[in-house]
Structure 1
Amino acid sequence: MRRAARALGTYLSRSPVTAGYVVLLLSTHLWCTAVLSTAEAQRVLLGVSTHLDNLHDRPLRALAGSLLFFDGTLTEVTSEAFAGTLITLGLGVAGCLAWLERRYGRGRAYGLFLLGHLAATLLTVPVIQVALAHGWYPDSVRHAPDFGISYGAETVLAAAALLLPRARRLAAAGVVAWPVLGGDWSGVLPDFTTIGHLLAAAIGFVCGALLLRTARPAATAPLPPADPALVE
């Protein structure tokens, strides 16, 4: 327990913005699943979805509001949705985004996260429009629920995969494998979220390569001395 408390304290002190963001995401998820009714939660999530209708009518609310939620579950541990939560919220945000914040500073870390979220979302728009025009996607895609942090998480996962000192190729392959194996490839085009995740991964790889070549790790303040009472 003491070691766990010390590890948590270190995490909070070295990655305070990410720690706060994780708490925010957990809070909004709890609000939707435990406080609101199913109909109310659906209304909230549809309001922040980045589908075509919302991006046309209220783009800022959709793009910003989508960052306040994650599309997954914390309770159905045998489901594919739970695996997605582990990848996006756990490994992507709580893991890689926190590591980037510590190593390269919160500005670069969150700039990369936001770039992936915004660019991947907006780059999928012409893909969806062309697919709708040719009948490759159903018209319901225009207003289908599409919210969450997964594009940003995929971007920081890809960047971190290139910046890791070891096993870069294996980590990079895992980042690409997630959307490829989990996507729907049954039509002429894969589903638009698969395309968005692959675009986000490409953005992360490019930005990770640039950071690897040009950016120095951010200087971090030394950790406070350990409390003698906690040292065994």
Structure 2
Amino acid sequence: MSGSEALCFDHPVMRRAARALGTYVSRSPVTVGYLALLLATHVWCTAVLSTAEAQRVLLGVSTHLDNLQDHPLRVLAGSLLFFDGTLTEITSEAFAGTLITLGLGVAVSLAWLERRYGPGRAYGIFLLGHLAATLLTVPVIQVALAHGWYPDSVRHAPDFGISYGAETVLAAAALLLPRVRRLAAAGVVAWPVLGGDWSGVLPDFTTIGHLLAAAVGFVCGAFLLRAARRAAPAPAPVPEPGPALVE
């Protein structure tokens, strides 16, 4: 290593960054492992497999109607191993989605919930949102197909990834922020509202799924907030002043 490289790594900013990274890893180890897994599967699909092979893998874990009817457990679990986005096309809408789901959702909100409430509760909320939003959109899609509001191609349209779970933990974390709760909650809802397709009788099913996931997250956040308030110690009673002493 040259002298300039040594000085670079010895810079105060680099030292602070290294300490912050070490603290992040030690306080959110499960999320760090999950992030590593998501990045590994993304690289596997984009850099190792051919385009056709990657499409087969992703269609195999897609939670569309046909897959959910044929092998629900496989697709519900397999979909959690991938994120639908890009890490390289930084000017695209897909990269913005990656920043929200993988960045704010998993790397920030899920890690924060893990540190504050433990991995069990954090990942319980994440999985609940993923499962509930996915399964609750099924009857919506079926009704929309029966009335001709969605094209029949929706039955096997690709739909995979962590975005429902990410939306859920974003909503839960937003509700637990003490001073910017309303602003953060509005931002969580604004993402699917502004990014969804509202041109038909119903918005597209992924928009509905993200809004359902946000609702699940708000309910979970409200329960955590209520539990924290109950667990908080009651303020000590103020002693009443005694009679004045007369000398």
TM-score band, normalised by shorter chain: over 0.9
Q: Deviations over 1:46-95 (max 9, x none)?
A: 00000001000000010000000000000110111000000000000000
- Residue 166 of structure 1 deviates from its aligned partner by 1.5
- Count of aligned pairs: 231
Per the alignment, residue 242 of structure 2 pairs with 227
Aligned equivalent of 2:54, options 26, 30, 41: 41
CA contact (8 A) 1:73 1:85 kept: yes
TM-score, L = length of structure 2: 0.87
Describe the shift of the 1:190–1:84 C-alpha distance in structure 2 as closer, same or farther (beyond 3 A): same
The CA distance in 2 between the partners of 1:41 and 1:229, in whole Å, is 84
TM-score, L = length of structure 1: 0.92
Describe the shift of the 1:230–1:200 C-alpha distance in structure 2 as closer, same or farther (beyond 3 A): farther
- Residue 4 of structure 1 deviates from its aligned partner by 1.2
Aligned equivalent of 2:187, options 174, 185, 196: 174
Describe the shift of the 1:28–1:223 C-alpha distance in structure 2 as closer, same or farther (beyond 3 A): farther
Q: Which has the higher contact order (CA 8 A, sep 6+)?
A: 1
Classify the secondary structure of the residue corresponding to 1:74.
coil
Matches for 1:1-232 after TM superposition, within 5 Å: 1-215=14-228
CA contact (8 A) 1:103 1:218 kept: no
CA contact (8 A) 1:103 1:217 kept: no
Q: Deviations over 1:179-227 (max 9, x none)?
A: 00000000000000000000000000011011000148999x9999999
CA contact (8 A) 1:104 1:217 kept: no
Listed as ranges, the gaps of 5+ residues in structure 2 are 1-13
The CA distance in 2 between the partners of 1:186 and 1:137, in whole Å, is 11
Among all aligned residue pairs of Structure 1 and Structure 2, give the percentage whose two residues are the same amino acid: 90
Classify the secondary structure of the residue corresponding to 2:229.
coil
Structure showing greater radius of gyration is 2
Describe the shift of the 1:146–1:98 C-alpha distance in structure 2 as closer, same or farther (beyond 3 A): same
Q: Deviations over 1:102-149 (max 9, x none)?
A: 000110000000000000000000000000011110111001100000
- Residue 228 of structure 1 deviates from its aligned partner by 57
Classify the secondary structure of the residue corresponding to 2:244.
helix
